[in-house]
A = this chain, B = another copy of it.
């Protein structure tokens, strides 16, 4: 048992899995899954549990925050809105409709509360620049939130907010995950489906581009259709 424990916000997606792999290099893991009513929550929770088992982590917490669905303002949590296909459509608006107001502020607040209760020294979140259309995915936000944590918690030295993927693109995240032997085969990225990745939503498109850039096959990609005439 090492002396440092990190709380990792682990959605079950590719990015948070790689963030967990980075945190694991520095100490013990405490894994936090927040279900804020996103459409694929059961599938994401399953990925979370599989990744936790892979790392043999016993300190796990799953939190339901229904209120973010009630508050709304986002197609990620409002079934009446359409999920945009691909980056081109997303680029048409300054802030995508998949924006959940102050989502990372809420996720980090929960993670910091748990970290303080556990006497953990850090909170890891897998945010990165390709999401920087979201104002709560920016370096400026994480830095300011870290200051609020330093001022607003009793632990000294203060719990730090760690964003190891912030400056990476999706290809860099895939490469880093592969280097650290992160269980990328257990991760789930699709916003739209909970059985086979749709391959069309923005998250699927980003993931595919990341594996292509990294020159690696996606171990969790949907199986290709068999060639004509195959058994």
Q: List residues of A whose CB falls within 8 A of some B CB.
A: 61, 63-68, 70-73, 94-95, 99-106, 108-110, 112-114, 116-117, 135-136, 138, 140-141, 143-145, 147-154
Contacts and interface: CB of A to CB of B under 8 A. Distances in A.
Given A73-B116, A114-B71, A105 B138 contact: no
A143 B152 CA distance: 10
Looking at chain A's contact residues, the main secondary structure is helix
Cβ-closest 8 pairs across A and B: A141-B152, A101-B116, A136-B152, A144-B148, A63-B67, A141-B151, A109-B109, A144-B147
A141 B149 CA distance: 8
B144 A150 contact: yes
Chain B CB within 10 A, most for which of A71, A94, A113, A147: A113
B135 A102 contact: no
A112 B116 contact: no
Contacts of A66: 63-64
B148 A148 contact: yes
Contacts of A61: 67, 70-71
A105 B144 contact: no
